Structure 1
């Protein structure tokens, strides 16, 4: 049995809401979490609705799906280029690059602007059941190993934290330089004033 993250996308904006309802009532074994995510017109990724068959809606935010959306839609995604306008490449580009591309980028690129999609966490001994379900819903379906996605999220957060730390160091260094420059200016002014008084 493998644990996977699936992304189902449609060009129609509201399709995900209908399929979300049907999937959560379909009784497909192994489906742990289902979430509707949306991409706004300006490219921001948002969590729209969520359901969990076993652990409750509130747990989604602490689960991998919630973390994926948090990375894509938050400051981590903006900094690393996973969200907003920088990732609005075509699906044709994605198909040429998907084997080398990181999962977070693929997820963001795959969702059309002003459209919704489904993110699904599932334990699958056989992918046929969910493949058949989404094929009947005319979805474009992509699937990744859970641990691969988890590793990418961890790496993205670590990269963001490192970048934020470097920014902080730079700001602190600039402030230190400014303070040193201000002290030097005051000292130069004092010396000039002192020497002027002595010359008098």
Structure 2
């Protein structure tokens, strides 16, 4: 099954150690790792710290090559910031949280759960046995969730459309604000000129 695997770490050094292990990962019949990124929440923004791409070793058409890049771009963009700001959630360590995360939308979930200072690994994989990658992550204090690649692709496409719509709305608002500002400026100028003409008329009447 093709999945996006997300592992959220409390300890940054452990996340980088796990990421280093992924870089050394040998492809197996049951588990193939295509791409991975390690991201960190800093000052309310999700930033990429490192990435690697093994697509060439799997063939150009093996996976959707742009999915991880698009996903990380959204998480670090306006939508990711918005979702994180609105939710303001924390991870917690409740039993069953992994399943709870997997039942939520990936972009919203990561934006909510990845709090300042925490680090996550996001990987694009094909796996018939989840225990292979779990064995790498479960050595550390982390939670793991998986999303089907088709579901994430649809979510990314929707998020990109939302970003585009928001950009258009913002542009339209700026144009409208500029028009309103110009109108106010010209109305004031018109009023000032009228006032000067009225004063001029009054002065002329006084003289004659």
TM-score grouping bracket, smaller chain normalisation: 0.7 to 0.9
Match of 1:37 among 31, 35, 39: 39
Report the count of equivalent residues: 191
Matches of 1:65 and 1:175, distance apart in 2: 38
Larger radius of gyration: 2
Q: How does 1:80-159 map to 2 (within 5 A)?
A: 80-82=82-84, 85-92=85-92, 95=97, 98=101, 101-137=104-140, 139-159=142-162
Q: Label 1:142 to 1:189 Cα distance change in 2 as closer, same or farther (>3 A).
A: same
Q: What TM-score does the superposition give when structure 1 sets the normalisation length? A: 0.78
Query: Is 1:28–1:129's contact at 8 Å kept on the other side of the alignment?
Result: no
Query: Is 2:10–2:141's contact at 8 Å kept on the other side of the alignment?
Result: no
Query: Is 2:45–2:80's contact at 8 Å kept on the other side of the alignment?
Result: no
Q: Label 1:110 to 1:194 Cα distance change in 2 as closer, same or farther (>3 A).
A: closer
Match of 2:192 among 180, 189, 194: 189
Query: Is 1:43–1:88's contact at 8 Å kept on the other side of the alignment?
Result: no
1:12 maps to what in 2?
11
Q: Label 1:184 to 1:6 Cα distance change in 2 as closer, same or farther (>3 A).
A: same
- Deviation sequence 1:59-99 (CA, Å, 0-9, x none): xxx73222222211223322x324xx554412249949646
Q: Which runs of 5+ in 1 are unaligned?
A: 57-61
Query: Is 2:3–2:146's contact at 8 Å kept on the other side of the alignment?
Result: yes
Matches of 2:91 and 2:79, distance apart in 1: 23
SS of the residue corresponding to residue 91 of structure 1 reads coil
Matches of 2:39 and 2:169, distance apart in 1: 32
Q: Label 1:192 to 1:36 Cα distance change in 2 as closer, same or farther (>3 A).
A: closer
Query: Is 2:101–2:145's contact at 8 Å kept on the other side of the alignment?
Result: no
SS of the residue corresponding to residue 48 of structure 2 reads strand
Q: Label 1:188 to 1:107 Cα distance change in 2 as closer, same or farther (>3 A).
A: closer
Q: Which runs of 5+ in 2 are unaligned?
A: 58-64
Q: What TM-score does the superposition give when structure 2 sets the normalisation length? A: 0.75
1:59 maps to what in 2?
none
Query: Is 1:34–1:118's contact at 8 Å kept on the other side of the alignment?
Result: yes
Deviation at 1:143, TM superposition (A): 0.2
